[in-house]
Amino acid sequence: MQNTFFRTVAAVAIAAGLGMAGSAMADDVKLPKKISWTAYGTTASGYAQSVAIGNAIKKAYGTTLRVIPGKNDVSRMAPLRDNRADFCACGIAAYFGQEGVLLFASNEWGPQPLRVVMTAIGTHNLALATAKDANIRSMADLKGKRISWVRAGDALNWNVAASLAFAGLTWDDVVKIEVSGFKASVDAIINGQSDAAFMSTITPHAKRLAASPRGLFWPELPHDDKAGWKRLAMAHPVDQMHVATSGANISKDKPHQGATYAYPALITNASKNSDVVYSMLKGVVSQFDKFKGAAPGAAGWSVKNQNMTWALPYHQGAVKYWKEIGIWSDKAQKHNDGLIKRQNLLIATWKALPGKKGMSKDDLRSKWMAARGMALKKAGLPLVFN
């Protein structure tokens, strides 16, 4: 969850000195002549934001930031794994990578030694959209309702499971409507086959649903429901409390109390040179005012939006910078150390798993998930994925 202390200190840091970012503070930004980021496809907001950042970096420091679009999680993450890209403007698949689950539970992957540099949080929420005529006014009302389940849509389906967990429900408590993709998950609601699907509040598909005869309603995740948020945190630790002020049927006058997580998150490998990571981060922060209005959602990269106790550990080069501007704390360090311990445990467990090369994909996933669960339980750490 977003920590109020960190947001307050970050705001103070901005007022105290980040206004100097374009001058003395940026003097020691030393980047190579070329840097590469992978990002979502060319029509995605994450790609547009990355290009906007690249333009600002080029103008300020002469560094060419090449943005490599990827149509899926594999094409975004593989260049990072293979050291063919320096950073990834990733989605939630980075968390799957750390955990070694879903598509990463394979011989080509396994748990990845990933680190966060910084994240972006917009003015929208990531939430379960429901047909207004389905009369789903709270997450508890989802019981027995029809919910879109996307084939090969691990992230979307996991997000739905988190919304269900908030109310103490699982996929077994609802009717699973299998669909072929994200757009189809919304079409199924409009066509009367489903009652709910997971999406961003600002996606055009939410507007399509709102304009349809069935209408749109966003059930909330009340921030004062401590039991619900505890269940959500266990099932979906990437989420943080957030009040959306933009989206279909959402505005500053009609906010939505719910959750969001970083998109994009700037990710790199643990082995990445600390000086490069430090300079990349400092450069992005220093040029924020130059790119914040250049692409939809780019203002989400603001320092005040950073969460120092998120679900992936920060790179040591990034920690150096966050300490420098005064928003890193003992609490953040303890949290980071714990995440690195978890990551190291998962990687060691994966490496010790016998016979991986000769197993079928299904056998490998089954044996790995069992070994993973046993190791985490023994260490007293949450499984998150069963």
| CA 212 distance to own-chain centroid | 29
Helix, strand, or coil here: 216? Answer: strand
Domains belonging to the chain, first-starting first, are 4-121+262-339 (3.40.190.10), 126-258 (3.40.190.10)
Query: What does the pLDDT read at residue 24?
Result: 35
Position 268 scores a pLDDT of: 98
- 45 φ, ψ (degrees, to nearest 5): -65, -35
**pLDDT at residue 16 in the model:** 41
Separation CA 73–CA 90 (nearest Å): 8
Sort 4 into a burial class: Cβ within 10 Å, 0-12 / 13-18 / 19+: exposed
Q: Yes or no: say if 165 and 234 are a contact pair by the CB < 8 Å rule.
A: yes
**pLDDT reported for residue 347:** 98
Chain-centroid distance of CA 134 in Å reads 29
CA separation for the pair 169, 266 (Å, rounded): 32
H-helix or E-strand containing 148?
A: strand 146-150
Tokens of 128: 């379960």
Q: How far is CA 142 from CA 39, 184, 187, 227, 243, in A?
A: 34, 20, 19, 17, 21
DSSP letter for each residue of 285-337: HHTHHHHTTSSTTGGGG-GGG--TT-SSPBPHHHHHHHHHTT---HHHHHHHH
pLDDT of residue 23: 35
Tens of each residue's pLDDT in the chain, 386 residues: 444 434 444 444 444 444 333 333 456 899 999 999 999 888 788 999 999 999 999 999 999 999 999 888 888 999 999 999 999 999 888 999 999 999 899 999 999 999 999 999 999 999 999 999 999 999 999 999 999 999 878 888 999 999 999 999 999 999 999 999 889 999 999 999 999 999 999 888 999 999 999 999 999 999 999 999 999 999 999 999 999 999 999 999 999 999 999 999 999 999 999 999 999 999 999 999 999 999 988 999 999 999 999 999 999 999 999 999 999 999 999 999 999 999 999 999 999 999 998 899 999 999 999 999 999 999 999 999 98
- For the chain, the C-alpha Rg in angstroms (whole number) is 21
Judge contact between 220 and 256, C-beta under 8 A: yes
Q: What is the pLDDT of residue 45?
A: 82
Q: What is the pLDDT of residue 27?
A: 61
Helix (H) or strand (E) holding 362: helix 361-378
Query: 379: which DSSP letter?
Result: T
Establish how many alpha carbons lie within 13 A of residue 125's alpha carbon, considering only the half-sphere containing its beta carbon.
Answer: 26
Q: Please tell me whether residue 236 adopts helix, strand or coil conformation.
A: coil
The predicted pLDDT at position 272 comes to: 98
Q: Phi and psi of 247, rounded to 5°?
A: 140, 180
Tokens 């993973």, residue?
372
